[in-house]
Amino acid sequence: MDSGTPVGRLYGVGLGPGDPELVTVKAARLVERADVVAYHSARHGRSVARMIAEPYLRDGQIEEALTYPVTTEKPEHPGGYRAEIEEFYADCAARLAAHLDAGRDVVVLCEGDPFFYGSYMHMHKRLAGRYPTEVVPGVTSVSAAAAVLGRPLVERDETLTILPGTLPTEVLAERLAATDSAAIMKLGRTFGNVRAALAEAGRLDEAWYVERATTDQQRSAKLDEVDPETVPYFSLALLPSRVHERTRAELAGQAAPVTVAEPVPVEPAGLGEVVVVGLGPAGREWLTPQARAALDTADDLVGYGPYLDRVPANPRQRRHASDNRVEAERAEFALDLARRGRRVAVVSSGDPGVFAMAAAVLEVASEPKWTEIPVRVLPGLTAAQAVASRVGAPLGHDYCVLSLSDRLKPWEVITKRLAAAASADLVIAIYNPGSKSRVWQVAAAKELLLQHRSPETPVVLGRDVGGSGERVRVVRLADLDPAEVDMRTLLLVGSSTTQVVSRGGAGPVVFTPRRYPA
């Protein structure tokens, strides 16, 4: 390989369950632009993934058919099936690596989602550590099957379990009995055992069968009506939401089609709760799974309007937007909803405990009339961490977090704390540095900092990190221009040990060493 040739990029691209129209826009674009398109197939040479992607292929692309040496037949390799398949994956990885080394971008096609029982993951394990890699998710067969049946997978607090049909019958039965909803993959020859496990778990009458969902060969039926001899590998069994089935029956004035030990109420009863949720600094990719779950299960969302707009609409939920300056009123409103039995999520940007809604809610909740209402706080990625990550590790040693807003505390307190942090040689994360009504504070803070810090001290300006208007710059303290700073900007002021280095063609890297000079 010519050492001057940049390597190609590896893409694992999910194509969805079968309908080419369910391929994402991003997947279609990558398939069309790829230098090399790779796909797995059995010995007959037909590839489901390639058939899905065919409308997006173009002339002149290199195709790499990765043909399995063995599928259901008896392996001929002296080491058995596992040894033969491992050799196959190693050979496939070597073939793709040759293209990547030559500077060609390689797209590995995968039906469904690449990381959901996908064939791509075997290439990912062998190549992702050596080449730039991106995985593009796809619609799973489980989601497709639920859509085909018109039955939700889970609702409210239900759990969904994904199981391979290759598990022993008794293990399947135990897990099916313990879960709310389930999808059982890899049917084909396992169908008889799966059917027996559903019967043993007492769930056979709830089970549905879906085959080749979203394709022109699609088939669905009650599972106990399916002939085992007709079941292909590309099929699954589904136990949809029991809450949904019961509620639908109740709304239709019918008896529930499934037996549930305790009926789940449609409306909350008794005391609800308030959960203060940190949304992180920007989009949904910055949201923790715990926070996402709280948002999904809430009956009411309460918060500042622009923050509520970041939460996808859910027709089941009520949304209560308010101005950013009525935190106490917002907290009391949320607590009152909870007292009436509602599950309330109070949304906050970043981390709710850092200059945000958690303190406001807890302050009001500490009043005697609210003490019986449960209140939880779920953390979020705060702006200081987000900005720091964009430039390296400026918060690698001791640091201080300080708000420059004098709306809720006197300016004299701010200057006293800022001077103390500066003289203590702490890295300083400055929140709320300026706004339309606060235009002089940044200049005053800069003047104060220069009394304790070198003019060469690095300052990171991070604006709207993670959002469409993201802008991150590193300047000297002496060159900090207050006109560049607004309410959506966060400042990170380095300490005497904070370093700025250049690494190749990338932007400057800023870090504060963990060792402090003696």
pLDDT over threshold 60, residue 266: no
Helical (H) or strand (E) element with 348: strand 343-348
Q: Could you tell me where in the chain the CATH 3.30.950.10 domains are found?
A: 142-246, 384-511
Could you report the per-residue pLDDT of 47-80, keeping only the tens digit for each?
Answer: 899 999 999 999 999 999 999 886 555 656 666 6
pLDDT band at 162 (very low <50, low <70, confident <90, very high): very high
Q: What is the pLDDT of residue 263?
A: 32
- Mean predicted confidence (pLDDT) in 505-518: 85
Mean per-residue pLDDT of the chain: 88
CATH number of 10-138: 3.40.1010.10
Three-state helix/strand/coil letters over 222-291: EHHHCCHHHCCCCEEEEECCHHHHHHHHHHCCCCCCCCCCCCCCCCCCCCCEEEEEECECCCHHHCCHHH
pLDDT over threshold 80, residue 258: no
CATH number of 384-511: 3.30.950.10
pLDDT over threshold 70, residue 252: no
pLDDT band at 268 (very low <50, low <70, confident <90, very high): very low
pLDDT over threshold 50, residue 343: yes
Are 64 and 100 a contacting pair, CB within 8 Å?
A: no
Distances (CA, A) of 170 to 173, 174, 193, 259, 447: 5, 6, 9, 22, 73
Q: Where are the alpha helices (DSSP H) in 34-120?
A: 48-53, 80-101
Which region among 91-95, 162-166, 294-298 has the lowest average model confidence (pLDDT)? 294-298
For domain 273-378, give its CATH number from 3.40.50.170, 3.30.450.40, 3.40.1010.10, 3.40.109.10: 3.40.1010.10
pLDDT over threshold 50, residue 260: no
Are 460 and 393 a contacting pair, CB within 8 Å?
A: no
> pTM for the whole thing?
0.49
pLDDT over threshold 60, residue 89: yes
Token readout for 303 is: 């918060």
Could you report the per-residue pLDDT of 444-466, keeping only the tens digit for each?
Answer: 999 999 999 999 999 999 998 88
Per-residue burial over 447-457, b = 16 or more CB atoms within 10 Å of its CB, e = otherwise: eebeebbeeeb
Q: Could you tell me where in the chain the CATH 3.40.1010.10 domains are found?
A: 10-138, 273-378
Q: What is the pLDDT of residue 106?
A: 97
Q: How many CA atoms are closer than 13 Å to the CA of 296, on its beta-carbon side?
A: 14
The domain 142-246 having CATH identifier 3.30.950.10: the answer here is yes
Q: What is the pLDDT of residue 142?
A: 95
Give the Cα separation of 249 and 482 in Å (integer).
Answer: 63
- Mean predicted confidence (pLDDT) in 189-195: 93
Q: What is the pLDDT of residue 248?
A: 60
pLDDT band at 487 (very low <50, low <70, confident <90, very high): confident
- Mean predicted confidence (pLDDT) in 380-405: 92
Token readout for 403 is: 């708000």
Strands 375-378 and 273-278, sheet pairing? parallel
Strands 62-67 and 181-185, sheet pairing? unpaired
pLDDT over threshold 90, residue 256: no
Which region among 61-65, 73-77, 179-183, 220-224 has the lowest average model confidence (pLDDT)? 73-77
